[in-house]
C-alpha cells in the first residue's frame, strides 16, 4: 500500500488498495495492519503526552488504566468532555473507501474473467478442430501401417519359403555331396578281398581314426541298402549284388581291424590310467554296435572277474576252513564283509566309468549284472548245496536246518547287496529281479525243505527223549521185586518243554517264510504248511503220551484182575493185591499229570497261533478259518485219548473202592460170620481207607485237571459213587 501524510484529510486520500496486494500468500491480518498502522500511532503518542501532563500530585486510577493524583481530580473532570479516540472518524472514512475500492476491484476482476472465458472457449474450439484433424491423420497412418505390415508378412513368408527351399536344396546338395564322397570310398572297398592295404590314407592314419570310423559306419549302412536304389546307374542285378557283397565283406573286415586297434589302444590307456585317451577311444568305439564291445571288454577285464586269487579269497572269507562245517553266524559276518568290498569296488569303477564312457549307465548295468551272475553266483553255488530230503545228513551235523539257515543268511545279505548296488548306480538293470532269480531254484522247493526239516527235528527230539528215558528208567521186574515199578514208570512222559521247543523251531521257520515270501498269498500258503506241521507234531506227541499213560492204566487194571482176592485171604495174596492197587494209583496220578501237560501244551499252541500266525493269515480270505479248522481237527485225537483215559481213571478208582470194601467184608466173614455179638456203628477200617483214597484221588484231580476235563471227571466220578 502507498504511504500518505498524517495531516492530509481523509477525503483527499490516494488509492488505498492495489490488486497486487491479493497475489501470492494473502493474509487479511497483514492487509488490515497496513491500513490502520498509519492512524493508530498518532493516537498512541497523544495518549502518552496526556498521561505525562496529568501525572502531578496524588494518583488515581483512571478508567483507561492510567493513574492520576488527587490534586488533578478537577482537571480530569474537565478533560472528560474531550473525545478519547479522535482517529475514529478517519478510520471510518478509511474503511468506507476501502470497501468502495474492493467493489471496484471485484468488477475489474469479473470483467477480466469474462474476457478470459471467451478467449478460452475460442481456443478450445480451435484445439478440438485440430485434434479431430489429427485423429483422422493418425487413423490414416494406422491403415498405412497395417497395409505395410501385411506386405512385410507376405514378403517374410515368401522369404521363409524361399529359405526352406534353399535349405532343403542345400541339404540335398550336402547329402548328394556326401553320397558321392561315400561312393568314392565305397569303390575303394569294392575290390577283391585282401586289398585293404591300397585304401586311401584316411583309413590308415591313426590321427584320423575317429573320422575313419564314422565314414566306415556310414559306408556299411550305405552298402547294406538296396544297391539298385542307392546307385540306379548300375545295370544288372548280378553285378550289383556281387559288388555289394565284396564291399560289405571288406568293410566288415576293416571295421573289425579298426575296432581291435581301438580296443588295444583302450587297454593300454587303461593300464596307464590315462582317462582322456580311454574316453577318446570309448567315444570312437561307441560307433561300433553302440559301443557294446568296448563296454563288455572293459567289464570283462576287471580284476575281480579274472583274478583267481580274488575268487579264492571270497570263498575263504565266507566259508572259512573247508575242512569244518560253516557256522551261519560266521557266514553272515563273512558275507557282510565281502559284499561291502564288492560295493566299494563297484563304486570306484563307477567313478572311472563316468569319466570315460559316453553312456555310463549302460556300462554300470553290464558291470553290476556281471558281479551278480559271476562273482555272487559262484559263491552261492558253493555255499548253498541242496541236501537230500529222503536221506539228509543227521541233525548232529546240521541236518536240513543248516541248509535253510544258510539260505536265509545268503538271501538276506544278497538283498542288502542289491540295495547298495542300486544306490551306487546300475543303469536300467532290474537288480532286485536279478537277485531274486539267483535264489529262484531254492525258493521254489523251499516249503518242502522247511517241512522236511521240521519232521527231521521232531524225530531227532523223540529219539533224544527215548534215550534219556532209557538212562533214568529202572529195569523192569516182577511186582515182588519192585512194588508197582514196572507199571508206574512211563518211557516217554509228555513234556511241556519239548512242546515249547517244537514251537521255537516253528517260529524260526515262520521267520524264514516271511523272508522268502513277498506276496501275501504265497506267505499265507507257506505259513499254513509250516503251522500245520507243528499241529501234527504236537497232536501226535501229546496223543502218544496220553496213550502211553492209558497203557499204564490198562496194565494196572490187568494186574488188579490177576490178584483179585478170592476165598483165600492169605498174606501173600493180600500183599500182591496191595501192590496192584498201588500200581493203579500211581498210573492214575501219571495220567492226570499227562492230561495237565497236554492241556498246557495245547494252550501254548493256541497262544502262539493268536500272537504270531493269525496276523499273517488274515490278509488272505479263508486262510485263517482253514487254519482254525486244522487246529481243531489236529487236537481232536488228543481230546479223545484224554476222555478215554479219564474213564479208565474212574474205573480204577471204583475198582479200588470195591476192593477195599470187599476185602474187609471177606475178612469179617472168614473169622466170625455170625457170632451173635452186638456191633457198634463206628466207621470200619475199610471205610477209613476208602475215604483216604478218595481224598487223594480228588486232590490229584483238583491239582492237575483244568476246565472241561476237571468238570467231566468229577461229574462222572460222583455218578459212579
Q: Mean pLDDT check: name the lowest of 89-103, 129-143, 477-491.
A: 477-491
- Output the pLDDT for position 13: 46
Residue 513 · residue 523 · CB < 8 Å: yes
Q: Mean pLDDT check: name the lowest of 346-360, 405-419, 641-655, 659-673.
A: 659-673
Q: Which residue has the higher pLDDT, 560 or 274?
A: 274
Residue 604 · residue 535 · CB < 8 Å: no
Q: Which residue has the higher pLDDT, 494 or 290?
A: 494
- Output the pLDDT for position 207: 63
C-alpha cell of residue 705: 485237571
C-alpha cell of residue 347: 563304486
Dihedrals φ, ψ of 68, to 5°? -145, 160
Question: Which of the listed ranges 43-52, 113-122, 477-486, 650-659 does the model predict with the highest average pLDDT?
Answer: 113-122
pLDDT > 70: percent of the chain:
65
- Output the pLDDT for position 89: 77
Q: Please tell us whether the domain made up of 530-666+682-720 is placed in CATH 1.20.58.
A: yes
Q: Which residue has the higher pLDDT, 36 or 155?
A: 155
C-alpha cell of residue 146: 497395417
pLDDT digits (tens, 9 = 90+) for 178-188: 777 777 776 66
- Output the pLDDT for position 400: 92
pLDDT digits (tens, 9 = 90+) for 448-496: 999 999 999 999 999 988 888 777 665 544 433 344 443 334 446 888 9
Give the Cα separation of 584 and 658 in Å (integer): 13
Q: Label residue 284 by pLDDT band (50, 70, 90).
A: confident
Concatenating the DSSP letter of every residue in 13-44 gives ------GGGGSSS--HHHHHHHHHTTTHHHHH
C-alpha cell of residue 41: 500511532
The overall average pLDDT reported for the chain is: 75
Residue 183 · residue 231 · CB < 8 Å: yes
Give the Cα separation of 314 and 309 in Å (integer): 9
Please name the helix (run of DSSP H) or strand (run of DSSP E) that holds residue 601, with its range, or none: helix 571-608
Dihedral of alpha carbons 141, 144, 148, 153, sign: positive
Calculate the alpha carbon distances from 509 to 351, 387, 411 in Å: 42, 17, 15
Q: Which DSSP category does 86 fall into? A: T
Q: Label residue 513 by pLDDT band (50, 70, 90).
A: very high
Report the SS3 class of residue 57. coil
Mean pLDDT value across residues 358-362: 90
Q: Which segments of 378-450 are extended strands (E)? A: none
Mean pLDDT value across residues 131-155: 90
In the predicted structure, residue 71 carries a pLDDT above the cut 50: no
Give the Cα separation of 71 and 14 in Å (integer): 46
Residue carrying the nine cell digits 498512541: 44
In the predicted structure, residue 171 carries a pLDDT above the cut 70: yes
Checking phi first, is residue 18 left (phi over 0); if not, alpha (psi -120 to 50) or beta?
beta
First CA to last CA distance, the chain? 151
- Output the pLDDT for position 593: 81
- Output the pLDDT for position 653: 65
Dihedrals φ, ψ of 61, to 5°? -85, 125
Q: Is the pTM of this model over 0.85?
A: no
In the predicted structure, residue 571 carries a pLDDT above the cut 90: no
In the predicted structure, residue 660 carries a pLDDT above the cut 70: no
Mean pLDDT value across residues 535-558: 84
- Output the pLDDT for position 179: 72
Q: Which residue has the higher pLDDT, 411 or 593?
A: 411
Mean pLDDT value across residues 40-47: 53
In the predicted structure, residue 583 carries a pLDDT above the cut 70: no
In the predicted structure, residue 246 carries a pLDDT above the cut 80: no
Give the Cα separation of 411 and 414 in Å (integer): 5
Mean pLDDT value across residues 381-385: 89
Long-range contacts: 281-290, Cβ < 8 Å, 24+? 282/356, 282/357, 282/358, 283/210, 283/358, 284/209, 284/210, 284/213, 285/259, 286/357, 286/358, 286/359, 287/213, 287/214, 287/217, 288/213, 288/217, 288/255, 288/259, 290/359, 290/362
Amino acid at each position: 500500500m502507498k504511504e500518505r501524510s498524517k495531516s492530509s484529510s481523509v477525503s483527499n486520500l490516494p488509492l488505498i488498495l492495489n490488486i497486487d496486494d491479493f497475489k501470492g500468500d494473502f493474509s487479511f491480518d497483514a492487509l488490515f495492519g497496513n491500513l490502520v498502522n498509519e492512524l493508530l500511532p498518532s493516537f498512541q503518542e497523544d495518549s502518552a503526552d496526556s498521561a505525562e501532563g496529568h501525572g502531578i500530585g496524588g494518583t488515581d486510577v483512571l478508567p483507561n488504566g492510567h493513574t492520576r493524583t488527587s490534586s488533578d481530580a478537577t482537571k480530569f473532570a474537565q478533560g472528560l468532555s474531550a473525545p478519547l479516540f479522535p482517529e475514529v472518524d478517519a478510520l471510518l472514512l478509511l474503511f468506507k473507501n476501502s470497501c468502495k475500492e474492493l467493489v471496484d476491484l471485484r468488477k475489474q476482476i469479473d470483467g477480466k474473467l469474462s474476457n478470459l472465458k471467451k478467449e478460452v472457449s475460442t481456443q478450445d474450439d480451435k484445439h478440438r478442430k485440430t485434434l479431430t484433424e489429427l485423429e483422422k491423420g493418425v487413423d490414416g497412418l494406422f491403415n498405412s501401417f497395417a497395409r505395410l505390415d501385411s506386405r512385410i508378412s507376405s514378403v517374410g513368408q515368401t522369404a521363409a519359403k524361399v529359405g526352406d527351399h534353399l535349405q532343403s536344396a542345400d541339404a540335398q546338395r550336402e547329402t548328394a555331396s556326401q553320397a558321392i564322397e561315400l561312393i568314392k570310398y565305397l569303390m575303394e572297398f569294392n575290390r577283391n578281398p585282401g586289398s585293404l592295404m591300397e585304401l586311401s590314407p584316411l583309413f590308415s592314419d591313426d590321427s584320423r581314426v575317429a573320422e575313419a570310423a564314422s565314414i566306415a559306419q556310414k559306408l556299411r549302412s550305405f552298402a547294406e541298402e538296396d544297391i539298385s536304389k542307392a546307385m540306379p546307374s548300375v545295370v544288372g542285378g548280378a553285378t550289383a549284388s556281387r559288388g555289394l557283397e565284396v564291399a560289405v565283406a571288406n568293410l566288415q573286415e576293416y571295421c573289425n581291424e579298426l575296432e581291435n586297434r581301438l580296443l588295444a589302444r583302450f587297454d593300454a590307456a587303461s593300464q596307464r590310467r590315462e582317462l582322456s585317451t580311454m574316453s577318446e577311444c570309448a567315444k570312437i568305439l561307441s560307433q561300433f554296435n553302440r559301443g557294446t564291445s568296448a563296454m563288455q571288454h572293459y567289464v570283462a577285464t576287471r580284476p575281480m572277474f579274472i583274478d583267481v586269487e580274488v575268487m579264492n579269497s571270497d570263498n575263504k572269507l565266507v566259508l572259512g576252513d573247508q575242512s569244518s562245517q560253516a557256522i551261519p553266524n560266521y557266514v553272515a559276518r563273512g558275507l557282510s564283509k565281502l559284499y561291502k568290498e564288492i560295493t566299494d569296488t563297484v563304486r570306484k569303477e563307477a567313478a572311472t566309468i563316468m569319466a570315460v564312457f559316453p553312456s555310463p549307465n549302460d556300462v554300470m548295468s553290464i558291470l553290476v549284472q556281471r558281479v551278480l551272475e559271476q562273482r555272487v553266483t559262484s559263491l552261492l553255488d558253493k555255499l548253498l548245496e541242496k541236501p537230500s530230503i529222503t536221506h539228509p545228513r543227521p541233525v548232529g551235523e546240521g541236518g536240513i536246518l543248516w541248509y535253510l539257515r544258510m539260505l536265509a543268511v545268503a538271501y538276506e545279505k544278497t538283498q542288502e547287496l542289491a540295495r547298495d548296488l542300486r544306490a551306487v548306480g546300475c543303469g536300467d538293470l532290474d537288480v532286485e529281479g536279478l537277485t531274486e532269480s539267483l535264489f529262484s531254484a531254492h525258493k521254489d522247493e523251499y516249503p518242502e525243505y522247511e517241512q522236511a526239516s521240521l519232521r527231521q527235528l521232531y524225530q531227532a527230539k523223540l529219539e533224544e527223549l527215548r534215550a534219556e528215558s532209557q538212562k533214568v528208567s529202572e529195569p523192569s521186574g516182577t511186582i515182588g521185586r519192585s512194588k508197582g515199578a514196572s507199571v508206574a514208570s512211563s518211557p516217554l512222559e509228555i513234556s511241556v518243554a519239548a512242546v515249547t521247543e517244537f514251537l521255537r523251531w516253528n517260529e524260526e521257520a515262520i521267520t524264514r517264510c516271511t523272508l522268502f515270501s513277498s506276496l501275501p498269498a504265497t506267505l499265507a500258503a507257506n505259513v499254513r504248511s509250516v503251522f500245520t506241521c507243528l499241529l501234527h507234531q504236537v497232536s501226535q506227541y501229546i496223543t502218544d503220551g496220553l496213550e502211553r499213560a492209558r497203557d499204564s492204566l490198562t496194565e494196572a487194571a490187568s494186574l488188579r484182575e490177576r490178584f483179585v482176592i478170592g476165598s483165600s485171604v492169605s498174606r501173600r495174596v493180600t500183599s500182591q493185591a496191595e501192590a496192584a492197587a498201588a500200581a493203579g494209583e500211581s498210573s492214575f496220578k501219571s495220567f492226570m499229570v499227562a492230561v495237565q501237560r497236554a492241556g498246557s501244551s495245547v494252550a501254548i499252541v493256541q497262544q502262539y497261533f493268536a500272537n504270531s500266525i493269525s496276523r499273517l493269515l488274515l490278509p488272505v480270505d479263508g486262510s485263517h478259518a482253514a487254519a482254525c479248522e486244522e487246529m481243531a481237527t489236529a487236537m481232536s485225537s488228543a481230546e479223545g485219548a484224554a476222555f478215554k483215559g479219564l474213564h479208565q481213571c474212574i474205573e480204577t478208582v471204583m475198582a479200588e473202592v470195591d476192593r477195599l470194601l470187599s476185602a474187609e467184608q471177606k475178612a469179617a466173614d472168614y473169622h466170625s460170620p455170625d457170632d451173635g455179638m452186638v456191633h457198634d456203628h463206628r466207621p470200619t477200617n475199610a471205610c477209613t481207607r476208602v475215604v483216604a483214597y478218595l481224598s487223594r484221588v480228588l486232590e490229584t484231580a483238583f491239582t492237575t485237571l483244568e476246565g472241561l476235563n476237571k468238570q467231566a471227571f468229577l461229574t462222572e466220578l460222583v455218578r459212579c459213587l
